[in-house]
Amino acid sequence: MRTVGMALVEGLAARGVEVVFGIPGVHTIELYRGLSGSPVRHVTARHEQGAAFMADGYARVSGKPGVAFVITGPGVTNALTAMAQSREDSVPVLIVSGVNRRASLGQGLGYLHELPDQTAMVETLCPSFRVASPGLLDPMLEAAFEALHTGRPGPVHLEVPTDVMGLAAEESRTVPPPPARPVPKDADLRRAAALLDSADRPLILAGGGARRAEAALVALAEALDAPVVQTTNARGLMHGHPLSLAVSPSLASMRALMAASDQVLAVGTEFGLTDYDMYGVGPWPDLSGMIRIDLCPDQLDRHAAALPLEAEAEATLAALLSLIARRGRDGSARAAETRAAAAAEIADLAPTAPALIACLNAVRDAVPGAIIVGDSTQPVYAGNLGFDHDRAGGWFNAATGFGALGFAPGAAVGAALGAPGTPVICLIGDGGLQFSPGELRTAVDEGLDVTFVVWNNAGFGEIAQAMRDAQTEVIGCTPSPLNHEPFAAACDLPFVSVTAEPAALSGALKGGRGPRMIEVRA
């Protein structure tokens, strides 16, 4: 008999899903029955939060939704933190879970993994769809994938009651194509081009929504001679380009550049405070005259713009380029002046940051084109201030947005599976590693080229510094670190320990491929 669980896996495969991350349980056995003989590959995590982080990393790198299977109740609650990170960073992730028998829901009868209302809990975070009968499987799958491909990307939840998973499935209907992305009106494109052409000091603000549009972004920036500021999730775009500003827009020098620009084009950026107001100094310059490109109408409504364009970045940038009258301006000079001011500001603001950025430069140069997945740790914070990576979409971390510690190991595993053959660097602190140490073993099981670089400052160094800056006693910031060498051995990972110097780190990285661990003694 072809069950609902089996048909669900077939439906995922028909929609292009190649990998699912998860941990099997008694409430998802029917899903795993569906995986038997399926082209969908299963990767076993060590914690449901790690499975959802893996789906996140996979989605960021592959451009396809990441999928995770989790059990009813604690599987869902364990995954919620990762889902919240995906929501903040606009990453399409599908979490497929069980839910208790239909007749038991809301009754408080003490069933295994029971929650008062699992659907309502998840719906505070993202859309949730229930397959309440076999006939609802295809409609709910269609609704879930429509949500994944419409508007602002983010997490979506699909749950199947345990007494439905094993029922006979109905005949599957034809999988509809993904919904078309919105496109701007020709009149709006012409108006946007006219506004950009008439500007003497144009500026482009690029967010994570632009990370797959590098060629079009470079071409338009060069046509306009416009500096391009990249938020954290846009880093890696335009590496080394004279118009590129791989610098946090929270810095005063960047705010000054915005204020001095007479036309701003914002591409795929939500203007999140962890990007634009990290230090809580108040509103950034008045950008109400900007042109804004974003897939999400709700996002477009949140900040005033002279011309909001609900559209996908790459196609819109290419369309604008065809309408621009190319003429030179002083963009490269403005960018160079701002880069110099930002470097001096970073050194004053965070005296340790230049040395940390030098270490990141060494990582980039030792492993060109690598994907660097970061946790909330000191070199990642420094990199978000001013690190220029060399791969579009190759620098992302949990130090902005939701800020979940323990993100990097799982996300690095997902990234490695999303970009086979590409080296992945997982950059994590000794404190963050203790949130999710088990996911290193998944990298070993899967034979992935992931190098776990553990920044060991024997505690929560960034938080300790924040406490000192606030002139309060440092409490709770010195949890003992793992003894990393025997821990790496327990994970069957080659291990080396180096000092926090660029040359030492570069030498260690050039010494092999992953899976492996490098401890950096900070």
pLDDT in tens, 323-364: 998 776 799 999 999 999 999 999 999 999 999 999 999 999
Q: Is pLDDT above 90 for 317?
A: yes
Count the alpha carbons within 13 Å of 391 in the hemisphere toward its beta carbon.
Answer: 22
Structure confidence at residue 220 (pLDDT)? 97
Structure confidence at residue 102 (pLDDT)? 87
| Tens of pLDDT, residues 8-20 | 999 999 999 999 9
CA distance 202 to 261: 6
pTM assigned to the model? 0.95
DSSP per residue, 172-234 = PPPPPPPPPPP---HHHHHHHHHHHHT-SSEEEEE-GGGTT-HHHHHHHHHHHT--EEE-GGG
Count the alpha carbons within 13 Å of 88 in the hemisphere toward its beta carbon.
Answer: 19
Cis peptide before 285 (omega within 30 of 0): no
- Compute CA 195 distance to the chain's CA centroid, rounded to the nearest angstrom: 32
CA distance 55 to 38: 19
Q: Is pLDDT above 80 for 466?
A: yes
Helix or strand run (H / E) with residue 31 = helix 29-35
CA distance 134 to 165: 8
**Local confidence band at 100 (pLDDT 50, 70, 90 cut-offs):** confident
User: Mean pLDDT over residues 450-474, rounded?
Assistant: 91
Structure confidence at residue 109 (pLDDT)? 78
Between 75-84, 229-238, 454-463, the lowest mean confidence (pLDDT) is in 454-463
Structure confidence at residue 107 (pLDDT)? 84
Structure confidence at residue 465 (pLDDT)? 86
Q: Is pLDDT above 80 for 432?
A: yes
